[in-house]
Structure 1
Amino acid sequence: MRRVVIHAGFHKTGTTTAQRFLMHNGEHIWPHHAIAIQHRIRDPLQFALSYSTGAGQIALDEFRSRFRVFLETLNLGAERGLIISAENLAGMMPGKNALVEGYTACPVLMKVVAECIEQVIDPNPDMTFHFSTRGKDAWLRSIWWHNLSKTRLTDNFNDFADALGPTCDLENTVQQVRKVIAPYPVTSMPLEQTTGQKFGPATPLIDLLNLPDTARNALQNIPAENVMPSRDLVKAFLKLNRSDLSNPDLVAAKQELLERAAKLE
């Protein structure tokens, strides 16, 4: 029975830090488990995103087909396990597209993932689905900042949260996934709970991999990624988004502010 761990999000819950941890410690993990993070499965993920925005059965079928093709490229040998960490497996980040309401597509996408693993990797895998979560206010603020920095969002936080908050319940999504992919176990852990743990946001993933002690003891921690910036920088970005700058000038102005802030750290 082959060990498989699926870490499918959620966005802005420490997933980037967890993925960088896996890659940074690849030499200790790879002998026991293949590692696939977001950029490695970009092709099938584009159809997971399309399905989550309402593209329908055609997009879901294409996701299934391309995810299977990706799995077929893996060389796991007789015993190596597999960990996949990619938040876009759960669908598009809420707030980026008006057609996306929370993670309503996630349970269906996870069902497809489970079926593909059974068909390509192991008909009876030792498989666990894990979701990183986060306190709602902190999660919404991080989603708001992401959209503020990447798009021309002009809503202040309260307006953004009032619109998005009612459509997003991470724990309820976890429960829906649990129903759909039973009997496979589904675990979750808030980002706040991983703070101070040995491997930060990657801790629950490392626990699920059941690495030998020699490999686990060799793992090295890394700094957190995508930390919320200062309040002044957030205010400056909101002001820029509300300005009459052209899109190219807006991008350049944001980049200049980011570079200036980095020099002050």
Structure 2
Amino acid sequence: MRLIVHAGFHKTGTSSVQKMLRRNGNRFAREFRVFTHRDLPGLCGAARALSASRDPLDDGLFAMELAEFLTALDTDDPRPVVISSENLAGHMPGRYGLRHYSAAPAIMARFAEFAAECLAAPRITFYFSTRAPEAWLRSCHWQHLCATRMTDDFATYRAAYLPHADLAGDVAAIARAVPAPHDVVSAALDDASGGPLGPLDPLLDVMSPSDALRAALTALPPANTAQPAHVADELLRLNRSDMDADTVHAAKTALLQRGQSG
């Protein structure tokens, strides 16, 4: 069975990819079985937990979730399986004290190991989208401001995380950890942005759909993108305030909605 696993990284166009995979779901279903993080909450949650704890219990939960998914696949279905979720690489750096994707090599190796136990002769291509350090850090900082009570301004955040912002190095470490005959490939978001389907194009190159399917796909605008600097400044102010979590969440939601509509 052929599997294509788009397992990361955060803030490299993954939301846009998944949005287009879902938007074109009926078209893809002719040739592929496609799953995103919405279809695999237990597996993705287990991978994130394992990245933060490295605990044998979380490793066991990851194994259980993965085995449940793999054994439910119809082995008589000839269509390749495509999984797209950046959470399979673990938590985004900046969460739970993590500064890098150092757990990702072990998680991908475990994925390959359990696939060999659950499936007959699986062949996996692990695909990772990457991004230049400066743009990636700025996008990650924006996401943290939106989703957490991060109180670091960008300069402080950059100083702490720039030494670890080497996604190409992370891909190389994953390639060393994943056993043969499986493959690890990557593409930079900066190189993919000019294509007709943006960050989906490199994944399609790995998937190898028919020309007819590729030509029929509907492109969508970028998803989950940052807003202007003054919005980030206001998010930072809210995070640093002494307001309770519910009040901050409501204020952030209203702020982001105004930014999207304006």
What amino acid does structure 2 have at the position aligned with 1:128?
Answer: T
Alignment of 1:203-242 (within 5 A): 203-242=201-240
Q: Which SS does the other structure have where 1:40 is aligned?
A: coil
Alignment of 1:133-172 (within 5 A): 133-172=130-169
Alignment of 1:85-234 (within 5 A): 85-98=84-97, 100-125=98-123, 127-183=124-180, 184-234=182-232
Map Cα deviations across residues 149-169 of structure 1 (whole Å, 9 max, x no partner). 111111110111111222342
Aligned mates of 1:194, 1:182 — CA distance in 2: 28
Alignment root-mean-square deviation, CA: 1.5
**Structure 1 runs of 4+ with >4 Å offset:** none
Aligned mates of 1:11, 1:68 — CA distance in 2: 24
Aligned mates of 1:247, 1:223 — CA distance in 2: 31
Aligned mates of 1:219, 1:76 — CA distance in 2: 27
Aligned mates of 1:15, 1:66 — CA distance in 2: 22
What TM-score do you get using the length of structure 1 for normalisation? 0.93
- Deviation of 1:55 after TM superposition, in Å, equals 4.0
Q: Which SS does the other structure have where 1:21 is aligned?
A: helix
- Deviation of 1:182 after TM superposition, in Å, equals 3.6
Report the more deviating stretch, 181-190 or 231-240: 181-190
Partner residue, 2:9: 10
Check the 8 A contact 1:9/1:15 in 2, yes or no.
yes
Partner residue, 1:22: 21
Q: Any stretches of 5+ residues in structure 1 without a counterpart?
A: none
Report the more deviating stretch, 128-137 or 159-168: 159-168
- Deviation of 1:76 after TM superposition, in Å, equals 5.2
Q: Which SS does the other structure have where 2:146 is aligned?
A: helix
Aligned mates of 1:154, 1:178 — CA distance in 2: 35
Check the 8 A contact 1:17/1:224 in 2, yes or no.
yes
Q: Which SS does the other structure have where 2:53 is aligned?
A: coil
Check the 8 A contact 2:2/2:122 in 1, yes or no.
no
Aligned mates of 1:54, 1:95 — CA distance in 2: 14
Report the more deviating stretch, 241-250 or 135-144: 241-250
What amino acid does structure 2 have at the position aligned with 1:194?
Answer: A
Aligned mates of 1:167, 1:57 — CA distance in 2: 26
Aligned mates of 2:203, 2:213 — CA distance in 1: 14
Aligned mates of 1:224, 1:74 — CA distance in 2: 31
What TM-score do you get using the length of structure 2 for normalisation? 0.94
Check the 8 A contact 1:94/1:101 in 2, yes or no.
yes
Q: Which SS does the other structure have where 2:199 is aligned?
A: helix
The share of aligned pairs that are identical, in percent, is: 33
Instruction: Give aligned pairs, total.
Output: 261
